[in-house]
Every structure is written in C-alpha cells, then in structure tokens.
Amino acid sequence: MPFSRDVLAQGLLGKYDYLDALGITHTCQHIYQAYESWVLHKNIKSFYIPTPNTSQTPHALPYLRGQLKLFLEKLEDWTGRKIGENDLRRGIEIVDTTRKLMKQIYEMRKSESPPISGLDSMLMVVAAQMSDKEEFNTILEDVIKNELPGRKAKATPSSRLMLIGSEHDDVKFIEMVENLDAIIVIDDHCTGSRYFWNTTEQNEDALTDIANRYIKKPPCPIKDFPARNRTAHIVNLANEWNVAGVIEIQQKFCDPHELDRVAVSKALEKAGFPILNLEADVTMPVGPFRIRVEAFLEILSSEELF
C-alpha cells in the first residue's frame, strides 16, 4: 500500500525522530509491516498490542484488558512512575470530555447551513489525536461558545455528502470536493467520527472500562464479524445527517475496506443514498477525482429536481 510505504519512508528519513516510542495494535498487514521495518532499522522503543480479531465474542473484553495491562506495565517501566486507578480515571474523564465536545460539534453539522466544513472537522480530529487533551478541550469549548454560533461554512446551500472508507486525511481531496457545490457533513473514518464516537462506560475497574470502550466503538471492517454492525451504523449516520449522497474512498490495496465496500454500497443504495466509489493513492493528484466528483454532484442535482 503506497500510504504504508510513505509512512515508513518518512520514519526512516528521520521525519519522526521526535518520537519517544512507536506503537501499533492489530491492523492490516501493510501497516504492520511498516511498523516492523521501522523498528528493525531505527533505535526506538516499541510496543505491539494484539487486540482481538473480532469484538463480537465474550472473550474479547478479558483478552483486551489483559493486553492493556501488559502495555500499562511497559509504560510504567519506561517512565519510572506507577500509574494507578485514580490516574486512569482522570485520563478517562479528560479524553471523554474531548470526545463529547467533538461530537457536539458534529451535531451542529446536522443544520441546513453547517457552521463548520468537512475539511475543518477532519483537521479538528487529527489535531485532537496529536494534542494535549486538556489544552485542546479548552480550545474546543471556546470554539463551541464563541466561534461556531451563527457561522456558515458555505455561503449558499450545497449538496450534503457523507465520506466513508479507509484512512484518508488528504486535505487536497476534501478541499477539492468542498470547493465544488458540496459540503461534507458527516463521515465514518478513523480520522473522523470513529476516533471519538463513543465514550467510556464506567462499570468496572478503569482498565476494564477502557477495554470495553474500544470493544464497543464503531468497528472498522476487520473487526465487524460475524454480525455486520458497521453497515447499519453507516446507514444510520447518513439518515441522521440527511445526506444527499456518499463518497467512499479507500487507500489502494486496503483489502479490508475493499472487501467491505460491496456490502456497504448495497446497503446505502437500498436505503436511497447514491454512492461514488473511489480508490486513492498518496502519489495521485486530485485532478482525475475532480471529474468524477463533478459528475456525481450533477447526478445528485438532477435527482433533487424530481
């Protein structure tokens, strides 16, 4: 996968030398091999959390809790500091606040004139992934209170779109789509809603609650079996955010999403949502995509007339 090769290349070139450690969970083979090669060639602390292959089994929760306990012990060894129950509870509270605030902003995008674009929403999520959560929460609270009320992301009404698929934080692509007569109002992406959608249910000890939160989060294709919960979740988002159409874009050679797109596309079409399937490559310009997106928007416009 070109995306995985690019991540590895930047790591080997020293672009991420500011990192103290490199970690990964169970994911697709392409990203895992990038991780293995990175650790092999760079002197960096590393950890692997083998998450359950499926979250739909009673064994998933105790297994993941056990793996998180091993990770916690490794962190304690690296930092020389004991991480107790109160520390974990405080972390849960801070991160759940981030999740609630970002979901509040996503709820604002349900309006006929959303106050924030799809591009800015994605940048918000990516920034949240990399920022100090307490500082970021203060910024989010200020944005919700002072910046978004009364604001319009686009001056005129545009076709409301949903963006789904594999990892895709291509600024130029999303910018291109929204420079046309369209605005992305909702997504199902790991650099979007899947990152923050559910909060932590506090029922057991903190480590179990953290594991349970990840077990119950909206799944990506490699975790979504035997039941197809992901498909219903995507259709529900499309309905709630009142989209006119869906763009599904996946990284080239991303097998889980490539196999998943058939079932998801059929479910969306059955629910009345036209879908445009695209395959991305980090080396590809957005020009060829622009032609297909323009044609898709023209189809949506003609359907809205009747």
Q: Per-residue pLDDT tens for 106-130?
A: 999 999 999 999 999 999 999 999 9
User: 85 with 35, same domain?
Assistant: no
> Residue 184 pairs with which residues in a beta bridge?
161
pLDDT (tens digit, 9 = 90+) per residue, 237-287? 999 999 999 999 998 888 888 889 999 999 999 999 999 999 988 778 898
3-state secondary structure of 251: strand
User: 228 with 111, same domain?
Assistant: yes
Alpha helices in the chain (DSSP H): 2-12, 29-41, 60-79, 85-108, 118-130, 133-142, 171-179, 206-216, 229-240, 255-270, 287-304
Whether the predicted pLDDT of 305 surpasses 60:
no
Domain count, the chain: 2
pLDDT score at 304: 63
Percent of the chain with pLDDT over 70: 98
Q: Tell me, what CATH number does 149's domain have? A: 3.40.50.11900
User: 160 with 43, same domain?
Assistant: no
Whether the predicted pLDDT of 151 surpasses 80:
yes
pLDDT score at 306: 53
Is position 175 within any domain?
yes
Is position 296 within any domain?
yes
- Smallest CA-to-CA distance from 275 within 306, 254, 303 is with 303
Is position 55 within any domain?
no
pLDDT score at 152: 96
**CA 110, CA 106: separation in Å to the nearest integer?**
7
User: 231 with 272, same domain?
Assistant: yes
pLDDT band with cut points at 50, 70 and 90 for residue 3: confident
Is position 176 within any domain?
yes
| Mean pLDDT of the 33-41 span | 95
User: 149 with 32, same domain?
Assistant: no
Contacts of residue 102, defined as CB under 8 A and 6 or more positions apart, other chains included, come to 124, 125, 128, 140, 196
- For the chain, the average pLDDT equals 94
Whether the predicted pLDDT of 136 surpasses 60:
yes
3-state secondary structure of 237: helix
Percent of the chain with pLDDT over 90: 79
pLDDT score at 9: 96
Whether the predicted pLDDT of 25 surpasses 80:
yes
User: 271 with 129, same domain?
Assistant: yes
Instruction: Note down the domain range covering 39.
Output: 1-50
Whether the predicted pLDDT of 202 surpasses 70:
yes
**CA 234, CA 277: separation in Å to the nearest integer?**
15
Contacts of residue 237, defined as CB under 8 A and 6 or more positions apart, other chains included, come to 162, 186, 188, 193
pTM: predicted TM-score of the whole model, two decimal places: 0.94
- Smallest CA-to-CA distance from 245 within 156, 159, 119, 153 is with 159
Whether the predicted pLDDT of 222 surpasses 90:
no
User: 280 with 258, same domain?
Assistant: yes
pLDDT (tens digit, 9 = 90+) per residue, 42-100? 989 999 999 998 889 999 999 999 999 999 999 999 999 999 999 999 999 999 999 99
| Mean pLDDT of the 132-139 span | 98
User: 46 with 80, same domain?
Assistant: no
User: 188 with 46, same domain?
Assistant: no
Contacts of residue 88, defined as CB under 8 A and 6 or more positions apart, other chains included, come to 206, 207, 210
User: 84 with 129, same domain?
Assistant: yes
User: 218 with 71, same domain?
Assistant: yes
Secondary structure letter of residue 219 according to DSSP: P
User: 282 with 146, same domain?
Assistant: yes
Whether the predicted pLDDT of 17 surpasses 60:
yes
Angstrom distances, CA of residue 57 to CA of 22, 62, 216: 29, 10, 11
pLDDT score at 270: 98
Q: Which amino acid is present at 28?
A: C
The secondary structure of 34-53 as a DSSP string is HHHHHHHHS--EEEEE---S
